[in-house]
A and B are shown apart, each in its own frame.
Chain A
Amino acid sequence: MMRKINRIAGNIGFGFGVLMLVAPAITVFLWMLSLSLKNELDNTDYPPVFIPNPPVFDNFAEVFERNNFLKYAINSVIVSFTATGLAILLGVPAGYGIAKMKATKAAVVILIARITPGLSYLIPLFLLFQWIGLTGTLAPIIITHLVITVPIVVWIMMGFFEGLPAELEEAALVDGATIWQAFRHVAMPLAKPGITVATILAFIFSWNNFIFAMVLAGRETRTLPVAVNNMLTFEQISWGPLSAAALLVTAPVLLLTLLAQKQIVEGLTAGGVKGG
């Protein structure tokens, strides 16, 4: 009897502990949602109003009306999709080659790229883009985003190809396939889960990136994080539209995380990757 009570008490304690771990994570997002659904009067009320009653969607409408938000959203989509796509095209074969050649030096370059502060790439690239006259287009932003996406893809794919059994490709080679065919028709189909993980992570970290576009983007070429940050500077206290914009920016990656949490956990556990 005593043992049973002890166990129940232990379980309650454990449940409380888990709640304490999870609560801060969810609260910030719920508060973001709450702010975005209230009018300005409720948002600046003290003590704070927690549950929007009734919820209003004016903030979202205002974001789209006032801030050229749609244009920046399109910019973000173009940049992240292109940078991720290019990284997959380049990085998957490269990861395969590095794994096959056991090229540890190449792996070290990727590792150092992972630990270099994103800001330090910007001075030379900023000057370079000015000299060759690319400023004012999305090209510089896409190119700098490759600094984030390429190392993520190479790193994950390298690990993935190293873990694949070599027998199948060798059988294909003995049967007269070229190494490209062995890669394309044997190794790559096997590596599909790895490619999925790499794509998702590269996309998320490119989408979230702030600093590159912050420095390189002009009025027409801002990505969403930069646009939202600019709203803060100009609208100090209008919390509703600000939260609505913040929510719109981060909603796609949060949804992606919820949908693909298994792959994301897998990829992050293996590589400890993070961009910028």
Chain B
Amino acid sequence: MAGSTATLDGAAAAAVTPRRRNNYARRYWWFVVPCGVVVLGTIIFPWIFTIYMSMHDFKLGGEREWVGHANYVKLVTDERFLYSILRTLYFTALSVVIPMVLGLLAALAFARKFPMRGLARTIFILPMMATPVAVALVWTMMFHPQLGVLNWLLQQVGLPPSMWVYAPDTVIPTLVMVEVWHWTPLVMLILLGGLASLPIDPYEAAKIDGATPFQSFWHITLPLLAPFLVVALIIRTIDALKAFDTIYVITQGGPGTASETINIFLYLQAFAYYNLGYASAVVVVFFSIIIMLAMVLLWTRARVKASG
């Protein structure tokens, strides 16, 4: 490969190695430029403009006024915002741990061969492909305290009815249930891909040594699967932090503010109260939280890779 490019570019360029490599790469720029322009306009411009906006007091239809870091000072003292952070962390912790456990179990199950495995797997991933608004509506109907099918089910197994999303103390666990239902399949798929890539030799050796299935799972599967577990953990954490559609459709942050996560708070500030400057500051803080968590998780991933 190096030989053919060298002849194409000529001997002169070959004398200056770094530059030659540069020219070689540069020939592919035009493949990226059109897409780059779109990314610049729809993704990078909003990032920069948001930071600029976050330093203004700007209500839609009103005057725009430079206020420096005043929006951020206001955020730090805004109890409603601080509580939304706590709620987001609570929601995220549950929406990460439960899908990780269930997703691992499901991946282990689907890694085995059994009749109708393809069909079962397809059904299992349907929730994550379905339109979130549509499934959120069905869940809302199931949560109805008097007529909902879930309370009827509880009654059948002898449990007291629940208020589901209609009471402050049950609303977040209930929303977590929907999130778990929705996104466990993605965790399962990532881990299933990991399981498919594992070598079989260690298992055979373990079998000869008389290891129980649980021992080979604990000492072979889990360590080998660690990098995939971390990837799934990163993706799940970020997605749980960002969760919006189902929460918004089912509760809109209510009852009161009992399920108001950062994302819902942000939406209300921006598009219900039109405090666009203040909302921009929320975006910056929210984004920083996400990036920080992502960095911690990526660092974990690097460590897992190094030890593996």
Contact = CB atoms under 8 A, between A and B. Distances in A.
B245 to A, nearest CB: 5
Contacts of B4: 170, 173-174
A203 to B, nearest CB: 11
B202 interface: no
B133 A225 contact: yes
Contacts of A97: 28-32
A243 B120 CA distance: 24
Would you call the interface of chain B mostly helix, strand, loop, or mixed? Answer: helix
Interface stretch (B74-82, B217-225, B235-243): B235-243
Given A18-B120, A250-B135, A272-B186, A25 B126 contact: yes
A253 B147 contact: no
A31 interface: yes
A198 interface: no
B254 to A, nearest CB: 13
Contacts of B129: 204, 208, 253-254, 256-257, 264
Interface string B257-300: 00000010011001100001001100100110011001000000
A150 interface: yes
A269 interface: yes
B163 interface: no
A70 interface: no
Given A21-B124, A31-B138, A170-B4, A228 B133 contact: yes
Given A14-B114, A97-B28, A246 B138 contact: yes
Contacts of A117: 241-242, 244, 263, 266, 283, 286-287, 290
B15 interface: no
Interface string A179-220: 100010000000000000000000010011011000100000
B53 interface: yes
A143 B42 contact: yes
A64 interface: no
**Chain A CB within 10 Å, residue with most, of B1, B122, B139:** B122
A51 interface: no
Interface in A123-162: 123-128, 143-144, 146-147, 150-151, 154
Contact of B131 (A100, A121, A208): A208
Interface residues of B, number: 89
Contact of A124 (B45, B141, B239): B45
A210 B190 contact: no
A147 B134 contact: no
B246 to A, nearest CB: 10
Interface stretch (A1-9, A53-61, A88-96): A88-96
A113 B126 contact: no
B134 A246 contact: yes
A90 B34 contact: yes
Interface string B118-147: 101111111111111111011111100011
A261 interface: yes
Contacts of A98: 32
A35 B44 CA distance: 44
A125 B46 contact: yes
B157 interface: no
Interface string B35-55: 110110011111101100100
The list of the 3 closest CB pairs from A to B, nearest first, reads A97-B31, A94-B35, A269-B193
26 contacts: A28-B181, A48-B149, A90-B38, A96-B31, A100-B25, A103-B32, A106-B36, A113-B43, A115-B238, A118-B242, A119-B267, A120-B286, A123-B276, A124-B45, A150-B35, A183-B31, A215-B271, A229-B249, A246-B135, A250-B130, A250-B134, A254-B126, A257-B126, A268-B125, A270-B193, A274-B235
Given A46-B146, A274-B239, 9 more contacts: A25-B126, A28-B139, A44-B147, A117-B286, A179-B28, A224-B131, A228-B133, A242-B141, A270-B193
